[in-house]
């Protein structure tokens, strides 16, 4: 049999076109290096890896709108005031294709290759946590626009500052309201997506509920990409809850709301997070959106007077509508807020020196259209109360905090 054995040398030589391949590889490398030349300018450069394609692209595009609006407003005013001289803002975007490893890779590219001065984190808690190692290693002050899970901030990093308050700040007020305004509500059913942020949020609701003496009659997790929730909802219906809490992303919420109606799973209070904050949810569920409650970090119904580039929540909303012909949602707003807070820190520091800006960020005390922003020792915002709202007659109506509420909790859903 030995004669059948192929010889390796022969195999290697059996490719007469190796040189051509090498040439091709070199040509590709050359092209790639050629596209690599970057222009020098005195603008403040901010790196922003975004999920512009793939599973998270809806959110990625929203964040980008938020960044762009802030950049336009700042640059229209001549730029950021750095110790007396105005410097324009430039945002370097990269698409990380909703893949966390790529986000980390791009954060590194922004740090070393593009030499950005500051960074905005990628979308969501998981990617923010993964990419935060890069900004920490290079000592780049980084604003995290969409990371709410406390686990993101537990690594003792000095450069990460998140605009979202902890998940529990969403569950606590909602549970308070239910306790106060719906005294008959006793039994809670929770259905959470088995994924970093939605699961943590579901667990916060469980904690908040138990703390106030509610009974948790169902706690279910569903897998990412679940196409059918009928079994879980049938069980929930059987458990006869007064309050149904569902967490996940917008597609999950649309499907769950539809199947709740299909199966007649009803409750006095239905809470879904975060989808109802998006107009798409109301469009896609139609009348079924009615009376669904939700909590979110920001809502256009708020009215903060601010000392930032926008002046007030109302003015922000107006500028956003002029530019994008739609109402801003919390993802748009946190994008703009990330820019605003960085700008205010630079102006306060009077310098773009990273250490000084980091200090200014840590000191906090920023009055923004998004709310007052200060960060705890870990770097997460703790300084404002996220509003609770309810869809009433096709519109999101704030029902908490009392200072800005435009309506009261309505019970029952279709």
39 vs 63: CA distance, rounded Å: 26
Closer to another protein by CB, 74 or 111: give it: 111
Distant-in-sequence, close-in-space partners of 322: CB < 8 Å, separation ≥ 6: none
Which among 67-75, 123-131, 159-167, 311-319 is the span making contact with another protein, rule CB under 8 A?
Answer: 123-131
Q: Report the nearest approach of another protein to the CB of residue 113 (Å).
A: 4
DSSP for residue 305: B
Closest CA to 123 of 141, 107, 139, 140: 107
User: Is residue 326 involved in binding another protein (CB under 8 A)?
Assistant: no
Using the rule CB under 8 A, is 52 a contact of another protein? yes
Please give the structure tokens belonging to residue 322. Answer: 């002029």
221 touches another protein (CB under 8 A):
yes
| Residue number with CB closer to another protein (87 or 193) | 193
Choose between 81 and 414: whose C-beta lies nearer to another protein: 414
The DSSP symbol for 181 reads H
Shortest distance in whole angstroms from residue 294 CB to another protein: 16
Q: CB nearer to another protein: give 15 or 321.
A: 15
Segment 227 to 266, residues that bind another protein, using CB under 8 A: 227-232, 234-235, 238, 250-251, 254-255, 258, 261-264
Report CA-CA distances (Å) from 292 to 248, 266, 289, 337: 15, 11, 6, 27
Task: Say if residues 113 and 90 touch (Cβ distance below 8 Å).
Answer: no
Residues 173 and 401: beta-carbon distance below 8 Å: yes
Q: Are 57 and 15 in contact (CB under 8 A)?
A: no
Let me know: does 126 contact 196? Beta carbons within 8 Å: yes
In the complex, the smallest distance separating the C-beta of residue 138 from another protein, rounded to whole angstroms, is: 6
- Taking CB under 8 A as the binding criterion, the range among 164-172, 276-284, 310-318, 378-386 that sits at the site for another protein is 276-284
Q: How far apart are the first and last CA of the chain?
A: 77
Choice between 69 and 254, CB closer to another protein:
254
Question: Quick check: 37 binds another protein (CB under 8 A)?
Answer: no
Residues 89-118 binding another protein (CB under 8 A) are: 93, 95, 97, 99-101, 104-105, 108-109, 111-113
Looking at the Cβ atoms of 190 and 399, the one nearer to another protein is 190
DSSP 385-398: ---EEEEETTEEEE
x/- letters, 143..172, toward another protein (CB under 8 A): ------x-x---x-----------------
Q: Which two tokens stand for residue 5?
A: 């054995």
Instruction: Kindly identify the residues of this chain, within the stretch 56-75, that bind another protein according to CB under 8 A.
Output: 57-58, 61
Distance (Å, whole) CA 39 – CA 37: 7
Among the listed ranges 11-19, 39-47, 175-183, 377-385, the one in contact with another protein (CB under 8 A) is: 11-19
Q: Does 395 bind another protein (CB under 8 A)?
A: no
Helices 57-76 and 313-324, axial angle in degrees (round to 10): 110
Supply the minimum distance, in Å, between the C-beta of residue 91 and another protein: 13
Which token pair is 203? Answer: 């667990």
């Amino acid at each position: 049999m030995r004669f059948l054995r192929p010889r390796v040398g022969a195999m290697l030589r059996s490719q007469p076109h190796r040189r051509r391949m090498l040439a091709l590889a070199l040509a590709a490398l050359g092209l790639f290096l050629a596209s690599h030349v970057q222009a020098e300018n005195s603008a403040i450069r901010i790196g922003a890896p975004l999920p512009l394609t793939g599973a998270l692209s809806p959110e990625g595009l929203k964040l980008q709108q938020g960044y762009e609006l802030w950049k336009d407003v700042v640059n229209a005013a001549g730029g950021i005031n750095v110790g007396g001289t105005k410097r324009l803002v430039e945002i370097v975007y990269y698409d990380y294709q909703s893949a966390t490893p790529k986000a980390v890779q791009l954060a590194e590219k922004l740090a070393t290759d593009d030499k950005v001065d500051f960074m905005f984190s990628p979308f969501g808690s998981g990617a923010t946590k993964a990419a935060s190692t890069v900004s920490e290693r290079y000592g780049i002050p980084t604003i995290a626009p969409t990371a709410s899970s406390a686990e993101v901030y537990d690594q003792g990093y000095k450069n990460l500052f998140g605009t979202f308050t902890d998940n529990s700040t969403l569950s606590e007020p909602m549970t308070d309201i239910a306790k106060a305004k719906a005294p008959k509500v006793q039994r809670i059913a929770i259905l959470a997506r088995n994924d970093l942020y939605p699961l943590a949020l579901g667990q916060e609701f469980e904690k908040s509920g138990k703390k106030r003496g509610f009974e948790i009659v169902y706690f279910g997790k569903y897998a990412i990409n679940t196409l059918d929730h009928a079994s879980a909802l049938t069980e929930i219906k059987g458990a006869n809850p007064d309050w149904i809490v569902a967490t996940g992303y917008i597609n999950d919420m649309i499907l769950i709301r539809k199947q709740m109606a299909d199966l007649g799973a009803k409750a006095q209070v239905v809470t879904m997070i975060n989808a109802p904050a998006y107009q798409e949810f109301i469009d896609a569920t139609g009348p079924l959106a009615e009376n669904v409650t939700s909590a979110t970090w920001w809502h256009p119904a708020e009215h903060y007077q601010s000392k930032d580039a926008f002046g007030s929540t109302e003015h922000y909303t107006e500028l956003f509508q002029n530019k994008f012909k739609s109402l801003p949602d919390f993802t748009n707003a946190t994008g703009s807020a990330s820019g605003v807070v960085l700008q205010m820190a630079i102006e306060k520091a009077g310098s773009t020196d990273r250490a000084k800006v980091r200090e200014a960020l840590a000191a906090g005390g920023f009055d923004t259209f998004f709310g007052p922003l200060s960060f705890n020792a870990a770097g997460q915002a703790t300084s404002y109360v996220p509003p609770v709202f309810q869809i009433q007659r096709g519109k999101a109506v704030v029902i908490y905090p009392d200072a800005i509420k435009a309506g009261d909790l309505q019970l029952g859903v279709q």
